[in-house]
Structure 1
Amino acid sequence: MKRIFKYTISPEDSGSTITKYLRDLGYSRHILTHLKYTERGILQNGSPAYTNRCLFAGDTLTITLLETESSKNIIPIPMNLSIIYEDEDILVVDKPADTPIHPSMDNYENTLANGIAWYFQKQGIPFIYRCINRLDRDTTGLLIIAKHMYSASLLSQMSARREIHREYLSIAAGLVPDSGVIDAPIARREASAIERCIDFERGERAVTHFWREAVQDGCSLVRLKLETGRTHQIRVHMQYLGHPLVGDFLYCSDFPAYQKRMQRQALHSHHLQFQHPITGQQMSFTSPLPPDMAWIF
Structure 2
Amino acid sequence: MVDEAEPTPHSRIDPITPQNYPVPLSPQLPPISKEIELSRAMSASSKSSLFALSRADFLYEDEWLLAVNKPQGIYCESVLSSVTSTLALPSSSDGLTEGIKISLPEPEPELHLANRLDRDTSGVMVITKSHKVAAKLVKAFTDHKVRKTYIALCVGSAPQWRKITVRSGHGRSKFGAWRVYAASDVGRTLPGGSVIRDMETSFEVLTINGNGSFKEPSEFTNDEGLTVVVEQKAVRKDVMEDEVLVRAYPRSGRTHQIRLHCQYLGISIKGDVKYEGVYEWQDKSNDAHQLHAESMAFEHPVTGMQIVLHAPLPLWANQALQL
Q: TM tier, shorter chain?
A: 0.5 to 0.7
How far apart are residue 77 of structure 1 and its match? 6.5
Q: Deviations over 1:107-144 (max 9, x none)?
A: xxxx1122112223446651322011111011010011
Contact 2:270 2:289 in 1 (8 A): yes
SS class of match (1:133): coil
SS class of match (2:198): coil
Q: After superposition, where does 1:162-201 map in structure 2 within 5 Å?
A: 162-174=144-156, 175-176=158-159, 177-192=161-176, 195-200=177-182, 201=185
The residue number in structure 2 matching 1:228 is 252
More relative contact order, 1 or 2 (CA 8 Å, 6+ apart): 2
The residue number in structure 2 matching 1:208 is 201
Distance in 2 separating the partners of 1:289 and 1:188: 31
Distance in 2 separating the partners of 1:122 and 1:258: 44
Q: After superposition, where does 1:37-186 map in structure 2 within 5 Å?
A: 78-80=52-54, 82-102=57-77, 111-122=78-89, 125-174=107-156, 175-176=158-159, 177-186=161-170
Contact 1:246 1:258 in 2 (8 A): no
How far apart are residue 230 of structure 1 and its match? 0.7
Contact 2:207 2:244 in 1 (8 A): yes
How far apart are residue 253 of structure 1 and its match? 4.7
Change (3 A) 1:133 1:101: same
Change (3 A) 1:173 1:77: closer
Distance in 1 separating the partners of 2:282 and 2:304: 43
How far apart are residue 90 of structure 1 and its match? 1.0
Q: Give the counterpart letter for 1:139 in structure 2.
A: T
Contact 1:76 1:118 in 2 (8 A): no
Q: Does 1:240 align with 2:303?
A: no
The residue number in structure 2 matching 1:290 is 314
Distance in 2 separating the partners of 1:213 and 1:77: 33
The residue number in structure 2 matching 1:251 is 275
Which among 275, 282, 287 is matched to residue 299 of structure 2? Answer: 275
SS class of match (2:273): coil
Contact 2:147 2:298 in 1 (8 A): yes
Contact 1:179 1:211 in 2 (8 A): yes
* Identity across matched positions, percent: 26
Contact 1:248 1:266 in 2 (8 A): yes
Change (3 A) 1:145 1:265: same
Distance in 2 separating the partners of 1:131 and 1:188: 23
How far apart are residue 235 of structure 1 and its match? 0.4
Q: Deviations over 1:211-254 (max 9, x none)?
A: 11111162111011111111100001110111100111211255
Contact 1:262 1:293 in 2 (8 A): no
Task: Specify the structure having the higher radius of gyration (Cα).
Answer: 2
Change (3 A) 1:77 1:293: closer
Contiguous gaps of at least 5 residues in structure 2: 1-48, 91-104, 191-195, 211-241
Change (3 A) 1:77 1:141: closer
How far apart are residue 199 of structure 1 and its match? 2.4
Quote the RMSD (CA, aligned, Å): 2.2
- Number of matched pairs: 213
How far apart are residue 205 of structure 1 and its match? 1.1
Contiguous gaps of at least 5 residues in structure 1: 1-74, 103-110
Q: Give the counterpart letter for 2:270 in structure 1.
A: V
Distance in 2 separating the partners of 1:159 and 1:204: 16
Contact 2:146 2:298 in 1 (8 A): yes
Q: Give the counterpart letter for 1:180 in structure 2.
A: I
The residue number in structure 1 matching 2:37 is none
